Amino acid sequence: MHTFRSIAAVLLAGSLGLAGLTASAATPAEIQKDLETAARASTPGFSAFSAQRGKQFFNSTHGNDWSCASCHTASPVATGKHAKTGKEIAPLAPAANPQRFADAAKVEKWFKRNCNDVLGRVCTAQEKGDVLAYLLSLAK
Amino acid sequence: MNNTTKRWILDSVVWSVSLLFAFGLLTDNALADSNGLSPTNATWQAECGSCHIAYPPKLLPAPAWRRMMSGLDRHFGTDASVDAATAAEIGAFLESNAGQGRKRGIDSGTLRISDTPWFRRKHDEVAAATWKNPRVKTAANCGACHGGAERGDFDDDAVRIPR
Protein backbone atom coordinates (compact mmCIF):
# COMPACT_ATOMS: atom_id res chain seq x y z
CA MET A 1 0.00 0.00 0.00
CA HIS A 2 2.77 2.32 0.99
CA THR A 3 4.59 1.56 -2.24
CA PHE A 4 1.52 2.29 -4.32
CA ARG A 5 1.19 5.62 -2.61
CA SER A 6 4.86 6.40 -3.30
CA ILE A 7 4.37 5.61 -6.97
CA ALA A 8 1.32 7.81 -7.09
CA ALA A 9 3.24 10.62 -5.42
CA VAL A 10 6.17 10.33 -7.82
CA LEU A 11 3.91 10.21 -10.87
CA LEU A 12 1.94 13.19 -9.57
CA ALA A 13 5.13 15.15 -8.92
CA GLY A 14 6.27 14.16 -12.40
CA SER A 15 3.19 15.39 -14.17
CA LEU A 16 3.25 18.63 -12.16
CA GLY A 17 6.94 19.23 -12.73
CA LEU A 18 7.26 18.19 -16.37
CA ALA A 19 4.09 19.36 -17.97
CA GLY A 20 3.10 22.10 -15.55
CA LEU A 21 -0.31 20.46 -15.40
CA THR A 22 -2.52 20.74 -12.39
CA ALA A 23 -3.90 17.59 -10.87
CA SER A 24 -6.99 19.36 -9.57
CA ALA A 25 -8.20 21.26 -12.64
CA ALA A 26 -11.76 22.48 -12.22
CA THR A 27 -14.17 25.19 -13.28
CA PRO A 28 -15.52 27.90 -10.94
CA ALA A 29 -18.94 26.22 -11.26
CA GLU A 30 -17.56 22.86 -10.11
CA ILE A 31 -15.82 24.50 -7.17
CA GLN A 32 -19.03 26.33 -6.28
CA LYS A 33 -20.94 23.05 -6.41
CA ASP A 34 -18.48 21.37 -4.03
CA LEU A 35 -18.78 24.32 -1.66
CA GLU A 36 -22.54 24.02 -1.80
CA THR A 37 -22.40 20.33 -0.88
CA ALA A 38 -20.10 21.20 2.04
CA ALA A 39 -22.33 24.10 3.14
CA ARG A 40 -25.45 21.91 3.09
CA ALA A 41 -23.69 19.40 5.32
CA SER A 42 -22.23 21.93 7.77
CA THR A 43 -24.65 24.88 7.92
CA PRO A 44 -28.04 24.24 9.53
CA GLY A 45 -30.77 25.97 7.53
CA PHE A 46 -28.50 26.59 4.50
CA SER A 47 -30.53 27.75 1.52
CA ALA A 48 -28.20 29.31 -1.05
CA PHE A 49 -25.07 31.38 -1.49
CA SER A 50 -25.50 35.13 -1.70
CA ALA A 51 -23.38 37.45 -3.86
CA GLN A 52 -24.58 40.37 -1.73
CA ARG A 53 -23.42 38.73 1.50
CA GLY A 54 -20.16 37.76 -0.22
CA LYS A 55 -19.52 41.37 -1.23
CA GLN A 56 -20.12 42.55 2.32
CA PHE A 57 -17.79 39.86 3.69
CA PHE A 58 -15.12 40.69 1.07
CA ASN A 59 -14.99 44.37 1.95
CA SER A 60 -15.17 44.06 5.75
CA THR A 61 -12.41 43.51 8.28
CA HIS A 62 -13.02 40.64 10.66
CA GLY A 63 -11.13 41.54 13.83
CA ASN A 64 -7.70 41.90 12.18
CA ASP A 65 -6.19 44.76 10.15
CA TRP A 66 -6.94 43.36 6.72
CA SER A 67 -10.02 42.64 4.65
CA CYS A 68 -9.96 40.66 1.39
CA ALA A 69 -10.11 44.03 -0.35
CA SER A 70 -6.89 45.21 1.35
CA CYS A 71 -4.93 43.26 -1.27
CA HIS A 72 -7.53 42.40 -3.94
CA THR A 73 -9.04 45.95 -3.91
CA ALA A 74 -12.77 46.68 -3.64
CA SER A 75 -12.94 45.95 -7.38
CA PRO A 76 -11.76 42.33 -7.82
CA VAL A 77 -11.79 42.65 -11.62
CA ALA A 78 -8.84 45.04 -11.24
CA THR A 79 -5.21 44.24 -10.52
CA GLY A 80 -4.55 44.15 -6.79
CA LYS A 81 -1.49 44.85 -4.71
CA HIS A 82 -0.12 42.94 -1.70
CA ALA A 83 -0.74 45.14 1.35
CA LYS A 84 2.68 44.41 2.79
CA THR A 85 5.10 43.70 -0.04
CA GLY A 86 3.46 45.82 -2.73
CA LYS A 87 3.69 42.99 -5.28
CA GLU A 88 1.03 43.08 -7.98
CA ILE A 89 -1.79 40.56 -7.64
CA ALA A 90 -3.61 39.50 -10.81
CA PRO A 91 -7.39 40.10 -10.76
CA LEU A 92 -9.40 37.66 -8.63
CA ALA A 93 -12.73 37.63 -10.47
CA PRO A 94 -12.87 34.80 -13.05
CA ALA A 95 -14.38 37.17 -15.64
CA ALA A 96 -11.17 39.19 -15.58
CA ASN A 97 -8.77 36.30 -15.02
CA PRO A 98 -9.66 32.79 -16.28
CA GLN A 99 -6.90 31.23 -14.15
CA ARG A 100 -8.89 31.96 -11.00
CA PHE A 101 -10.94 29.18 -9.39
CA ALA A 102 -9.62 26.78 -12.04
CA ASP A 103 -7.70 24.53 -9.64
CA ALA A 104 -9.34 23.11 -6.51
CA ALA A 105 -6.08 22.59 -4.60
CA LYS A 106 -4.98 26.16 -5.29
CA VAL A 107 -8.33 27.52 -4.15
CA GLU A 108 -8.08 25.48 -0.94
CA LYS A 109 -4.52 26.69 -0.32
CA TRP A 110 -5.35 30.37 -0.69
CA PHE A 111 -8.60 30.26 1.29
CA LYS A 112 -6.70 28.60 4.15
CA ARG A 113 -3.91 31.20 4.15
CA ASN A 114 -5.95 34.27 3.53
CA CYS A 115 -8.82 33.43 5.89
CA ASN A 116 -6.18 32.90 8.55
CA ASP A 117 -4.72 36.34 7.84
CA VAL A 118 -8.04 38.16 7.62
CA LEU A 119 -10.17 36.29 10.19
CA GLY A 120 -7.64 34.38 12.26
CA ARG A 121 -9.50 31.13 11.47
CA VAL A 122 -10.60 29.01 8.54
CA CYS A 123 -13.62 30.25 6.58
CA THR A 124 -16.85 28.27 6.56
CA ALA A 125 -18.15 26.74 3.34
CA GLN A 126 -20.96 29.31 3.48
CA GLU A 127 -18.46 32.22 3.63
CA LYS A 128 -16.33 30.83 0.80
CA GLY A 129 -19.39 30.15 -1.35
CA ASP A 130 -20.78 33.63 -0.75
CA VAL A 131 -17.47 35.20 -1.77
CA LEU A 132 -17.27 33.04 -4.89
CA ALA A 133 -20.88 33.94 -5.73
CA TYR A 134 -19.90 37.61 -5.45
CA LEU A 135 -16.81 37.16 -7.63
CA LEU A 136 -18.82 35.25 -10.25
CA SER A 137 -21.41 38.03 -10.31
CA LEU A 138 -18.80 40.51 -11.56
CA ALA A 139 -18.40 41.21 -15.24
CA LYS A 140 -15.09 42.34 -16.70
CA MET B 1 4.72 -13.81 -8.87
CA ASN B 2 5.04 -13.76 -5.09
CA ASN B 3 4.63 -10.63 -3.00
CA THR B 4 8.35 -10.09 -2.42
CA THR B 5 9.01 -10.03 -6.17
CA LYS B 6 6.13 -7.62 -6.78
CA ARG B 7 7.35 -5.37 -4.02
CA TRP B 8 10.87 -5.45 -5.45
CA ILE B 9 9.64 -4.47 -8.92
CA LEU B 10 7.50 -1.65 -7.57
CA ASP B 11 10.34 -0.33 -5.40
CA SER B 12 12.71 -0.36 -8.38
CA VAL B 13 10.25 1.66 -10.43
CA VAL B 14 9.83 4.23 -7.66
CA TRP B 15 13.58 4.60 -7.19
CA SER B 16 14.34 4.87 -10.91
CA VAL B 17 11.77 7.57 -11.44
CA SER B 18 12.93 9.46 -8.33
CA LEU B 19 16.57 9.29 -9.42
CA LEU B 20 15.70 10.57 -12.90
CA PHE B 21 14.02 13.53 -11.25
CA ALA B 22 16.89 14.21 -8.90
CA PHE B 23 19.30 14.06 -11.85
CA GLY B 24 17.11 16.47 -13.82
CA LEU B 25 17.12 18.96 -10.94
CA LEU B 26 20.90 18.67 -10.48
CA THR B 27 21.73 19.35 -14.12
CA ASP B 28 19.27 22.21 -14.09
CA ASN B 29 21.10 23.78 -11.16
CA ALA B 30 24.53 23.12 -12.62
CA LEU B 31 23.58 24.85 -15.86
CA ALA B 32 22.22 27.82 -13.93
CA ASP B 33 25.47 28.12 -11.96
CA SER B 34 27.67 27.96 -15.03
CA ASN B 35 25.97 30.94 -16.65
CA GLY B 36 26.27 33.02 -13.48
CA LEU B 37 22.57 33.19 -12.63
CA SER B 38 20.93 31.78 -9.52
CA PRO B 39 19.69 28.20 -9.72
CA THR B 40 15.93 27.93 -10.08
CA ASN B 41 13.18 25.47 -9.30
CA ALA B 42 9.66 25.78 -10.71
CA THR B 43 7.90 25.04 -7.40
CA TRP B 44 10.08 27.51 -5.49
CA GLN B 45 9.48 30.14 -8.17
CA ALA B 46 5.70 29.67 -8.15
CA GLU B 47 5.18 29.39 -4.39
CA CYS B 48 7.78 31.83 -3.02
CA GLY B 49 7.15 34.24 -5.89
CA SER B 50 3.41 34.68 -5.25
CA CYS B 51 3.65 37.48 -2.69
CA HIS B 52 7.19 38.76 -3.19
CA ILE B 53 10.08 37.95 -5.53
CA ALA B 54 11.37 34.43 -5.02
CA TYR B 55 14.49 35.33 -3.03
CA PRO B 56 17.52 33.37 -4.27
CA PRO B 57 18.59 30.53 -1.95
CA LYS B 58 22.12 31.93 -1.60
CA LEU B 59 20.83 34.94 0.34
CA LEU B 60 20.42 32.92 3.57
CA PRO B 61 22.39 30.02 5.09
CA ALA B 62 20.85 26.54 5.18
CA PRO B 63 19.88 26.57 8.90
CA ALA B 64 17.91 29.79 8.37
CA TRP B 65 16.02 28.32 5.41
CA ARG B 66 15.24 25.25 7.51
CA ARG B 67 13.72 27.44 10.24
CA MET B 68 11.87 29.51 7.62
CA MET B 69 10.31 26.41 6.05
CA SER B 70 9.21 25.03 9.42
CA GLY B 71 7.27 28.20 10.28
CA LEU B 72 5.48 29.12 7.05
CA ASP B 73 2.13 29.33 8.84
CA ARG B 74 3.51 32.40 10.63
CA HIS B 75 5.66 33.91 7.90
CA PHE B 76 6.47 37.55 8.78
CA GLY B 77 2.94 38.01 10.06
CA THR B 78 1.06 36.09 7.36
CA ASP B 79 0.08 32.50 6.74
CA ALA B 80 2.17 31.24 3.82
CA SER B 81 1.73 27.53 4.49
CA VAL B 82 2.11 24.96 1.71
CA ASP B 83 1.38 21.23 1.70
CA ALA B 84 4.04 18.84 3.00
CA ALA B 85 5.28 17.61 -0.39
CA THR B 86 5.69 21.18 -1.68
CA ALA B 87 7.49 22.24 1.51
CA ALA B 88 9.86 19.28 1.23
CA GLU B 89 10.76 20.09 -2.39
CA ILE B 90 11.28 23.80 -1.75
CA GLY B 91 13.20 23.15 1.47
CA ALA B 92 15.59 20.77 -0.28
CA PHE B 93 16.16 23.23 -3.13
CA LEU B 94 16.82 26.13 -0.73
CA GLU B 95 19.17 24.20 1.51
CA SER B 96 21.21 22.63 -1.29
CA ASN B 97 21.77 26.06 -2.87
CA ALA B 98 21.98 28.08 0.37
CA GLY B 99 24.52 30.78 1.13
CA GLN B 100 28.00 29.57 1.99
CA GLY B 101 31.34 30.88 3.17
CA ARG B 102 32.35 33.67 5.54
CA LYS B 103 29.69 36.08 4.33
CA ARG B 104 26.41 34.41 3.51
CA GLY B 105 27.12 31.08 5.17
CA ILE B 106 26.98 32.62 8.64
CA ASP B 107 23.73 32.05 10.54
CA SER B 108 23.19 35.28 12.46
CA GLY B 109 19.86 34.03 13.79
CA THR B 110 17.64 36.26 11.64
CA LEU B 111 15.30 35.04 8.93
CA ARG B 112 14.97 38.53 7.47
CA ILE B 113 17.50 38.79 4.63
CA SER B 114 17.75 42.58 5.04
CA ASP B 115 18.76 42.09 8.72
CA THR B 116 21.73 39.83 7.99
CA PRO B 117 25.21 41.33 8.64
CA TRP B 118 26.32 40.92 4.99
CA PHE B 119 23.19 42.65 3.67
CA ARG B 120 23.63 45.59 6.07
CA ARG B 121 27.29 45.98 5.17
CA LYS B 122 26.56 45.68 1.46
CA HIS B 123 23.90 48.40 1.67
CA ASP B 124 25.56 50.75 4.18
CA GLU B 125 26.09 53.41 1.48
CA VAL B 126 22.39 53.62 0.71
CA ALA B 127 20.99 56.87 2.11
CA ALA B 128 18.20 56.80 4.68
CA ALA B 129 16.06 58.89 2.31
CA THR B 130 16.34 56.20 -0.38
CA TRP B 131 14.89 53.54 1.93
CA LYS B 132 12.00 55.92 2.66
CA ASN B 133 11.35 56.67 -1.02
CA PRO B 134 7.83 55.40 -1.81
CA ARG B 135 9.24 53.79 -4.93
CA VAL B 136 11.39 51.62 -2.67
CA LYS B 137 8.99 51.33 0.31
CA THR B 138 10.76 48.35 1.90
CA ALA B 139 14.18 46.70 1.88
CA ALA B 140 12.31 43.58 0.72
CA ASN B 141 11.65 45.32 -2.60
CA CYS B 142 14.93 44.28 -4.27
CA GLY B 143 13.59 45.13 -7.72
CA ALA B 144 13.33 48.83 -6.89
CA CYS B 145 17.11 49.18 -7.42
CA HIS B 146 18.18 45.78 -8.78
CA GLY B 147 16.34 45.64 -12.11
CA GLY B 148 17.29 41.99 -12.65
CA ALA B 149 16.22 40.81 -9.18
CA GLU B 150 13.32 38.77 -10.56
CA ARG B 151 15.79 36.60 -12.48
CA GLY B 152 18.35 36.48 -9.68
CA ASP B 153 20.66 39.14 -11.16
CA PHE B 154 22.05 41.40 -8.41
CA ASP B 155 25.09 42.72 -10.32
CA ASP B 156 26.46 45.87 -8.60
CA ASP B 157 27.03 47.59 -11.94
CA ALA B 158 23.36 47.32 -12.86
CA VAL B 159 22.04 49.03 -9.72
CA ARG B 160 19.81 52.03 -10.44
CA ILE B 161 18.61 53.88 -7.34
CA PRO B 162 15.24 55.57 -7.97
CA ARG B 163 15.06 59.32 -7.30
What is the per-residue pLDDT across B131-152, written as a single tens digit (0 to 9) for each? 999 999 889 999 999 999 988 8
Which domains are delineated in chain A? 24-137 (1.10.760.10)
Interacting residues of A48 by C-beta distance below 8 A, sequence separation 6+: none
Task: Identify the pLDDT of residue B163.
Answer: 86
Task: Tell me which of B3, B5, B17 to substitute to probe the interface with A (most A C-beta atoms closer than 10 Å).
Answer: B17
Q: Which of A4, A14, A87 sits opposite B52 (nearest CB)?
A: A87
- For residues A16 and A22, the answer to whether their CB atoms sit within 8 Å is yes
Q: What residues of B are in contact with residue A113 (Cβ under 8 Å)?
A: 78-81
C-beta atoms surrounding B87 within 10 Å:
16
- What's the pLDDT band for B17 if we cut at 50, 70, 90? low
Report the greatest alpha carbon distance in chain A: 49
* Secondary structure of residue B63 in the 3-state scheme: helix
- For residues A111 and A125, the answer to whether their CB atoms sit within 8 Å is no
Q: What residues of A are in contact with residue B7 (Cβ under 8 Å)?
A: 3
Segments making up each domain of chain B, as ranges: 1-36, 37-158
Task: Identify the pLDDT of residue A81.
Answer: 95
Q: Which of B11, B21, B138 sits opposite A14 (nearest CB)?
A: B21
- Measured in angstroms, the CA of A85 and the nearest CA of chain B are apart by 6
Task: Identify the pLDDT of residue B6.
Answer: 75
Do B141 and A85 count as a contact with CB atoms less than 8 A apart? yes
Please state, in angstroms and rounded to a whole number, the distance separating the CA atoms of residues A80 and A83.
Answer: 9
Interacting residues of A25 by C-beta distance below 8 A, sequence separation 6+: A102, A103
Average pLDDT over residues A101-106: 96
Which residues make beta-bridge pairs with B78?
B75
Q: What residues of A are in contact with residue B45 (Cβ under 8 Å)?
A: none
- For residues A71 and A89, the answer to whether their CB atoms sit within 8 Å is yes
- What's the pLDDT band for B2 if we cut at 50, 70, 90? confident
Residue B31 has pLDDT above 50, yes or no: no
Residue A112 has pLDDT above 60, yes or no: yes
Task: Identify the pLDDT of residue B120.
Answer: 96
- Measured in angstroms, the CA of B34 and the nearest CA of chain A are apart by 23
Q: What residues of A are in contact with residue B131 (Cβ under 8 Å)?
A: none
Interacting residues of A89 by C-beta distance below 8 A, sequence separation 6+: A71, A72, A79, A80, A81, A82
Please state, in angstroms and rounded to a whole number, the distance separating the CA atoms of residues A128 and A37.
Answer: 12
Q: What residues of A are in contact with residue B77 (Cβ under 8 Å)?
A: 84
CA distances to A83, A84, A124, B141 from B145, rounded to whole Å, are 20, 18, 42, 8
- For residues A54 and A40, the answer to whether their CB atoms sit within 8 Å is no
Amino acid at A102: A
Task: Tell me which of A1, A2, A4, A6 to substitute to probe the interface with B (most B C-beta atoms closer than 10 Å).
Answer: A6
Q: Which of A9, A17, A82 sits opposite B51 (nearest CB)?
A: A82
Least confident of A131-140, B39-48, B65-74, B129-138: B129-138
Which residues make beta-bridge pairs with B92?
none
Residue A10 has pLDDT above 90, yes or no: no
Task: Identify the pLDDT of residue B10.
Answer: 73
Task: Identify the pLDDT of residue A20.
Answer: 46
- For residues A117 and B79, the answer to whether their CB atoms sit within 8 Å is yes
Task: Identify the pLDDT of residue B7.
Answer: 78
Average pLDDT over residues A58-74: 97
- Measured in angstroms, the CA of A71 and the nearest CA of chain B are apart by 10
- What's the pLDDT band for A17 if we cut at 50, 70, 90? very low
Residue B75 dihedral angles phi and psi, to the nearest 5°: -100, 95
Residue B104 has pLDDT above 80, yes or no: yes
Interacting residues of B111 by C-beta distance below 8 A, sequence separation 6+: B60, B64, B67, B68
Q: Which of A10, A85, A113 sits opposite B18 (nearest CB)?
A: A10
- Give one DSSP letter per residue of A82-96, joined into a string: -TTT--EE---STTT
Do B10 and A116 count as a contact with CB atoms less than 8 A apart? no
